[in-house]
Structure 1
Amino acid sequence: MLVDSHCHLDFDVLAGDIDGGLARARANGVTHCVTISTRIRRFDTIRAIAETHDNVFCSVGTHPHNAHEELDISVEEIIALSQHPKCVAIGEAGLDYHYDSSPRDAQAQGFRTHIAASRETGLPLVIHARQADDDMIAILEEEAEQGAFPFVLHCFTSGAELARRGLALGGYISFSGIVTFKNAAEIQEVARAVPADRFLVETDAPYLAPVPHRGRSNEPAFVRHTAEKLAELRGVPFETIAEQSSANFARLFSKAGLTA
């Protein structure tokens, strides 16, 4: 059993063949996936996908690229939407200083709003962090002082210090197809070191297809290649990675009601 903990089934390249994509995923041992929200105002689309497919869950949140567009959405509104039975997480939200598509103060404001919703609901916060390690650490540690909240650093591409500080706060780290890339030595070192009870696997489909599919559209079935690479890096059988990552998903995304 594998779970793709982060994909975007509403994005055009996947939306046209969701049934086929899920069938290919099942054929590769990927039993469930979470389709992740990037705009709260498009949550109806995300929710409909989850309602239509028994093995798909969803989240509710605003990607940092879009933070400035949805600053008027309150904590209470996010909480209300998250009550849907198939909604198992808040986000993705966070900081992206690579593209800076949204002003940094807007990203931080939106991020803190999502943290508050996670803290209030107990649902895990799916965090996007790119080239913003120092500010990410500062916000996470400051907010943790106001009360704990569950979270995962998704599609981990940051430095070892963010990994260490995030783990110290009780967070999880999710690895995508990037960990299979030849130039991902630093991320591979983090993947070796993360405790067995704190890692997840994901695709971030349709982006970041792993080797041997690099350069084409990603899909949930390909999370198997990420799991196989983690097994190689950690020196354990593939079955161990599948079991551990699924158990970790079931623990963090407890609303999904899965058992590994």
Structure 2
Amino acid sequence: MSIPLITDSHCHLDFPDFDNERPDIIRRAGEAGVHRMVTICTKLRLEPQVRAIAEAHDPVFYAAGTHPMSAADEPLATVDALIEMSRHPKFVGIGETGLDYHYTSESAEIQKQSLRVHIEAAQATGLPLIIHARAADDDMAQILTDCFKTQPYTCVMHCFSSSLDLAKAALDLGFYLSMSGIAAFPKSQDLRDIFATAPLDRVLVETDSPYLAPPPHRGKRNEPAFTAHTARVGAELFGLEYDAFAAQTEANFDRLFSKAAQYKAAA
């Protein structure tokens, strides 16, 4: 009996936590049914290293952006630079970008400026925007909505752990919510309740590895193979068999990250 296939829609394979182990980590992912993963570049100057990982491993795709917590310390991204990067066949998303007022509220204005650059690049390329949001729900909802009214774009709220109001604002725009290991934590029932309000065809799964390992690995280094643990929690939440939930999240990923789906089909 084959293992249902799923995709880790957000991980960080370039982080030093994975040095000297990447081939083994990608192999273990495949053994767990995680047949694709999107590794995320959080500082544009590191894009060549992240791109090289995607080029070296068939199951790996990548995205690039300036993480909001780095927005004040890195050169401001440009739309032209993001568009140029997006020409790579395995570059499938813009970001992660967003707003983080929990740790870096003092740089709120430059974060907003950076976010708008990334949104414009998503609008120009047609690739999905990948959003990090923490303690900035009102500003996030307003910027995403205002920019969408100017020109529609697609988007995933990665590692979603914000309020019901922000979830509704994102879903109302046709955006997706991505379920990380946080949603599998025993004390995250409120977050699971928010996910339960989302249309099933708007849910993705991810690890955000090396962070946020789900049970039974909580407190340890996370890796893409562990997406399966979060997906099993998602299946239970939606009252589905694991294979049915896995198939739905695959269809959702293919719809949003259509460039990755088309790459696979052409390979």
TM-score (norm 2): 0.95
Tell me, in whole angstroms, the C-alpha distance in 2 between the residues paired with 1:23 and 1:91. 26
Alignment of 1:202-241 (within 5 A): 202-241=206-245
SS in 1 for 2:23: helix
SS in 1 for 2:92: strand
2:153 maps to 1:152: no
Aligned to 2:111: 107
What one-letter code is carried by the residue in structure 2 that aligns with 1:175?
M
SS of the residue corresponding to residue 128 of structure 1 reads: strand
Aligned residue in 2 for 1:137:
141
Cα distance in structure 1, aligned partners of 2:113 and 2:75 = 8
How many pairs were matched up? 259
Q: Work out the CA distance in 1 between the residues paired with 2:165 and 2:43.
A: 29
Any idea what SS the aligned residue of 2:104 has?
A: coil
For residues 162-182 of structure 1, give each alpha carbon's deviation from its aligned partner in whole angstroms, at most 9, with x where no partner exists.
111101111000000001112
Partner of 1:29: 33
- 2:55 corresponds to 1:55: no
Q: Which residue of 1 aligns with 2:48?
A: 44
Give 5+ residue unaligned stretches, structure 2. none
Contact 1:7 1:220 in 2 (8 A): yes
Structure 2 counterpart of 1:149, one-letter code: Y
Which of 18, 22, 26 is the equivalent residue of 2:22? Answer: 18
Q: String of CA shifts for 1:121-176, please: whole Å, max 9, x gaps.
A: 00000000011111100101111111001100000010111111101111000000
Q: CA deviation at 1:102?
A: 6.2
User: Alignment partner for residue 88 of structure 1, among 83, 88, 92?
Assistant: 92
**Residue of structure 2 in register with 1:66 after alignment:** 70
Q: Distance in 1 between matches of 2:105 and 2:145?
A: 25
Matched, 1:173 2:177: yes
Q: Mind listing any 5+ residue stretches in structure 1 that lack a counterpart?
A: none
Residue in structure 2 matched with residue 121 of structure 1 by the alignment: 125
Using the size of structure 1 for normalisation, the TM-score is 0.97
8 Å Cα contact 1:230-1:241 kept in structure 2: yes
User: Relative to structure 1, is the Cα distance of residues 153 and 50 closer, same or farther in structure 2, using a 3 angstrom cutoff?
Assistant: same
Q: 1:178-205 CA deviation, whole Å, 9 max, x = no partner?
A: 0111211221001212111101000000
Relative to structure 2, which stretch is displaced further, 182-191 or 198-207?
182-191
In 1, the alpha carbon distance for the partners of 2:75 and 2:125 equals: 20
CA RMSD of aligned residues (A): 1.1
Partner Cα separation in structure 2 for residue 149 and residue 161 of structure 1: 20
**Contact map agreement 2:76 2:114 (CA 8 A) in 1:** no
Deviation of 1:73 (Å): 2.8
Q: How far apart are the structure 2 equivalents of 1:185 and 1:45?
A: 38
Aligned counterpart, 1:75: 79
Call closer, same or farther: CA 1:155–1:210 in 2, change over 3 Å: same
Deviation at 1:101, TM superposition (A): 6.9
In 2, are the aligned partners of 1:68 and 1:102 still within 8 Å (CA)? no
Secondary structure at the counterpart of residue 222 of structure 2: coil
CA distance in 1, matches of 2:148, 2:75: 22
Alpha-carbon distance, 1:245 to partner:
0.5
**Take 2:77 and 2:192, find their aligned partners in 1: how far apart are those partners?**
37
Whole-angstrom distance in 2 between the partners of 1:149 and 1:234: 27
Cα distance change of structure 1 residues 105 and 180 upon mapping to structure 2, 3 Å threshold: same
Tell me the percent identity: 49
1:189 maps to which residue? Answer: 193
